[in-house]
């Protein structure tokens, strides 16, 4: 039979084994000097014994957890009650600004490395926010209003379960406990220490959050009271701690001065006499100095922006300036804006250059609105007498419709420059095609078809259209080939319109010698003669 002493020994051994690895479910820190916490991010303990979660470093997180997990569920499975209280302070460099805030949280892990240092308070990210797999309970002290989380304002306390869309939230403050039970507001980032109490009753799943200025007795009426079923949220063992994030600007420092926690009981009261002192805030003097140097900077910056805008607008107007006279209004549908042609040709860059002739340079372009390929010819001219008649004839030629006549689409006029827009011919001019060794040679049947096409186009110009069009410069370089090698008459820069049997005059030599009808004069006076190709 086992002796009483041996029985007692085995009893205590069994009790030791049964409780091995289970953390005592209460602790109290009246200051954090010498405390062993699990710190992450930029969280640290200052020489004065303050827990500094985040400082003025941009886009950083800070986490501080009690190093061992605490039992939140006994073997029977029900959720245990817990209670915690802590004193915190948020000190901003500028009193009118703050960052995102901080939170007390109950978490299954101390590893929050995937959390973002922005509006997610260092707890979640855009992917896992509101994910039931988080198993996180938090009480947020939020100092920025985020519409995406349905925040009520930029100074509130909220209860969060797996998500930053709070189950319940209220503006920061406390109830005075007087006869009128008046609500007193608190500014979370005032730099003054405040105390928070979080009490959860496992029996009825009631979670209360209370706050007040530090060293004031706990108000009898909680700021927040909500029914929160934590049975599916908490595991058997969970970690407790704090999280904070600085964001991209206006980043204050988040401090915890003291902290007490207990499972299945009321957290021990903090001893205010032992709490460390906060660093002196300079925020009250800062704004005046900021105004002094920021005002001239703002004025100078505004002046620069206005000047740059004026230069940009004026520069663009000069760049795209056109000449438009009253008599051109009737040709509106045939006129292109210079801006449209500039964009179509990618700014008339050399890579779009198709060729250079005696009357200007020709560029390939794609009209932005219709995605149609065009050829744009830039012709220098001097505005003055005869321009009105020339534009009128260009527009009239644009009305020509024949399969062997290159379609003239319109024009644009600038100071000292005229731009003519034609159908784009993928195979270029006949002369270049004939002498291009990289292209397949034209057999006689194809050459004959091209000649027939040119002749058909000439017949249309001379006989079939309402006016007689005298091209006056028909040669291989002015015969264009489309994608199917059909010949088309192009370059009407020297063409003249006249009525059938009329007698127009010219005062200059026109055309290319050897390409004009031999019966016509070259200058002074011309009859409406026919064009002949060489």
Contact 446, 485 (CB under 8 A): yes
Spatial separation of the C-alpha atoms in residues 466 and 460, rounded to whole Å: 10
Phi and psi, residue 347, nearest 5°: 75, 25
CA of 184: how far to CAs of 94, 97, 213, in Å? 23, 21, 10
Spatial separation of the C-alpha atoms in residues 32 and 51, rounded to whole Å: 6
The H or E element spanning position 89 is strand 82-91
Contact 212, 195 (CB under 8 A): yes
Spatial separation of the C-alpha atoms in residues 478 and 492, rounded to whole Å: 9
User: Does residue 521 carry a catalytic annotation?
Assistant: no
Q: What is the CA radius of gyration of the chain?
A: 43
Contact 59, 247 (CB under 8 A): yes
User: Which two three-digit tokens encode residue 284?
Assistant: 């009250």
DSSP category for residue 466: S
The H or E element spanning position 19 is helix 4-19
Spatial separation of the C-alpha atoms in residues 305 and 308, rounded to whole Å: 5
DSSP category for residue 98: -
User: Which two three-digit tokens encode residue 220?
Assistant: 């009898």
User: Three-state SS string across 251-298, please?
Assistant: CCEEEEEEEEEEECCCCCCCCHHHCCCCCCCCCCCHHHHHHHHHHHHH
CA of 408: how far to CAs of 174, 347, 393, 394, in Å? 81, 21, 11, 8
DSSP helix/strand/coil, 218: coil
Q: In whole angstroms, what separates CA 429 from the centre of its chain? A: 47
User: Which two three-digit tokens encode residue 467?
Assistant: 């006016």
Spatial separation of the C-alpha atoms in residues 189 and 285, rounded to whole Å: 16
Of 40, 160, 199, 473, which is the active-site residue? 473
161 forms beta bridges with 137
Is 475 flagged in the annotation as binding? no
User: Which two three-digit tokens encode residue 311?
Assistant: 């230069």
Q: Output b/e per residue, 77-89; b: 16+ Cβ within 10 A.
A: eebbbbbbbbbbb
Q: What is the distance in angstroms between the CA of the first residue and the CA of the last residue of the chain?
A: 135
HSE of 65, CA atoms in CB hemisphere, 13 A: 20
Q: In whole angstroms, what separates CA 462 from the centre of its chain? A: 60
Residue ranges of the binding site for ATP: 377
Catalytic positions, written as ranges: 473
């Amino acid at each position: 039979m086992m002796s009483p002493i041996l029985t007692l020994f085995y009893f205590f051994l069994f009790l030791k084994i049964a409780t091995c690895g289970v953390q005592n479910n209460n602790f109290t820190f009246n200051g954090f000097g010498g405390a062993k916490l699990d710190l992450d991010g930029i969280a640290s303990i200052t020489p004065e014994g303050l827990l500094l979660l985040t400082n003025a470093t941009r886009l950083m997180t800070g986490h501080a957890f009690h190093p061992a997990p605490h039992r939140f569920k006994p073997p029977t499975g029900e959720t245990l009650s817990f209670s915690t209280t802590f004193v915190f302070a948020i000190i901003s460099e500028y009193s009118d600004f703050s960052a995102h805030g901080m939170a007390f949280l109950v978490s299954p892990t101390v590893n929050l490395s995937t959390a973002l240092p922005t509006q997610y308070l260092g707890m979640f990210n855009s992917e896992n926010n509101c994910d039931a797999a988080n198993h996180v309970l938090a009480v947020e002290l939020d100092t920025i209003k985020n519409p995406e989380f349905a925040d009520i304002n930029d100074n509130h306390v909220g209860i969060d379960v797996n998500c930053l869309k709070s189950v319940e939230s209220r503006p920061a403050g406390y109830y005075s406990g007087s006869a009128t039970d008046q609500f007193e507001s608190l500014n979370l980032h005032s730099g003054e220490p405040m105390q928070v109490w979080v009490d959860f009753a496992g029996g009825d799943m009631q979670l209360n959050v209370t706050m007040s200025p530090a060293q004031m007795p706990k108000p009898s009426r909680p700021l927040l009271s909500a029914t929160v079923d934590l049975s599916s949220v908490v595991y058997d063992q969970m970690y407790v701690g704090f999280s904070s994030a600085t964001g991209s600007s206006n980043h204050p420092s988040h401090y915890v001065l003291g902290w007490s926690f207990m499972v299945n009981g009321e957290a021990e009261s903090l001893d205010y006499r032992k709490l460390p002192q906060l660093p002196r805030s300079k925020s009250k003097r800062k704004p005046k100095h900021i105004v002094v140097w920021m005002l001239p900077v703002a004025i100078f910056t505004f002046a620069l922006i206005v000047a740059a805008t004026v230069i940009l607008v004026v520069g663009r107007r000069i760049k795209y300036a056109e000449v438009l006279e009253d008599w051109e209004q009737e040709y509106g549908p045939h006129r292109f804006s210079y801006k449209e042609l500039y964009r179509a040709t990618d700014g008339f860059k050399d890579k779009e250059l198709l060729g250079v002739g005696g009357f200007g340079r020709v560029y390939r372009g794609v009209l932005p609105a219709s995605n149609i390929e065009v050829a744009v010819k830039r012709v220098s001219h001097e505005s003055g007498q005869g321009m009105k008649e020339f534009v009128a004839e260009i527009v009239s030629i644009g009305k020509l419709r024949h399969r062997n006549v290159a379609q003239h689409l319109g024009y644009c006029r600038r100071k000292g420059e005229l731009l003519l827009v034609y159908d784009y011919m993928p195979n270029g001019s006949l002369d270049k095609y004939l002498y291009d060794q990289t292209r397949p040679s034209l057999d006689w049947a194809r050459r004959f078809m091209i000649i027939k096409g040119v002749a058909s186009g000439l017949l249309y110009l001379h006989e079939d259209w309402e006016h007689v069009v005298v091209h006056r410069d028909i040669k291989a370089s002015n015969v264009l080939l489309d994608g199917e090698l059909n010949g088309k008459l192009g370059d009407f820069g020297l063409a003249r319109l006249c009525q059938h049997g009329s007698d127009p005059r010219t005062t200059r030599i026109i055309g290319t010698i050897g390409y004009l009808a031999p019966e016509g004069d070259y200058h002074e006076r011309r009859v409406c003669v026919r064009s002949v190709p060489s």
